[in-house]
């Protein structure tokens, strides 16, 4: 039953394609652009109304705060958000390179599964980059693995970096 319906649909679509492809193609399009009306320019009265409306909206705009007002409201983080970043400083790319993927707890050790520069593996609390693992940059070491809170804390360049799952 289903095969008959499928055959009917296929034959109908093929017949439609044949009819369309064999039809006469006409490429002559007769259209006279002279009969189209030109749009009239906006009258001076309409221009005045538009300018009055625009002025009303401009009055409703809130002026920007000054730099001192914004700086006085910032309590945490960067002291001056308007200060230019020194491009000569080395930025910490460990957050970009290291991805935490999971945890494993055994009776003896805790492990954190990570991907560092497209290399995957497990870190333990004794892992030190450049010494006993290639999953951390040189000088970085694992401070703690907290599988309950899904956190991995790594000490790198005198900073404790927290990675969460």
Residue 96 has which token pair?
A: 């970009």
CATH of 94-164, picked from 1.10.10.1100, 3.50.50.60, 2.30.30.830, 3.30.2400.10, is 2.30.30.830
Residues of the chain falling short of pLDDT 50: 87-91
3-state secondary structure of 105: strand
Question: With contact defined as beta carbons under 8 Å apart, do 162 and 142 qualify?
Answer: no
Return the SS3 of 120: strand
pLDDT reported for residue 90: 45
Q: Tell me, what's the pLDDT at 111? A: 92
Whether 23 contacts 15, CB under 8 Å: no
d(CA 125, CA 28): 80
How much is the pLDDT for 18? Answer: 77
Residue 130 CA to residue 117 CA, distance in Å, equals 14
Rounded to whole angstroms, how far apart are CA atoms 6 and 10?
Answer: 6
Q: What is the pTM (predicted TM-score) of this model?
A: 0.45
Using the 8-state DSSP alphabet, how is residue 35 labeled? G
Distance CA(98)–CA(116), nearest Å, equals 5
Q: List the structure tokens of 61.
A: 């705009």
């Amino acid at each position: 039953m289903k095969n008959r319906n499928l055959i009917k649909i296929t034959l109908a679509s093929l017949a439609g394609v044949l009819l369309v492809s064999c039809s006469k193609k006409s490429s002559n399009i007769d259209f006279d652009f002279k009969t189209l009306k030109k749009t009239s320019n906006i009258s001076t009265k309409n221009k005045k109304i538009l300018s009055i409306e625009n002025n009303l909206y401009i009055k409703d705009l809130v002026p920007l705060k000054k730099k001192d007002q914004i700086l006085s409201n910032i309590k945490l983080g960067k002291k001056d958000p308007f200060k230019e970043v020194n491009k000569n400083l080395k930025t910490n790319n460990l957050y970009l390179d290291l991805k935490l993927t999971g945890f494993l707890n055994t009776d003896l050790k805790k492990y954190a599964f990570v991907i560092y520069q497209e290399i995957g593996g497990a870190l333990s609390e004794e892992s030190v980059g450049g010494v006993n693992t290639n999953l951390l940059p040189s000088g970085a070491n694992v401070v703690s693995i907290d599988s309950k809170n899904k956190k991995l804390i790594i000490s790198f360049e005198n900073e404790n970096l927290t990675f969460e799952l």
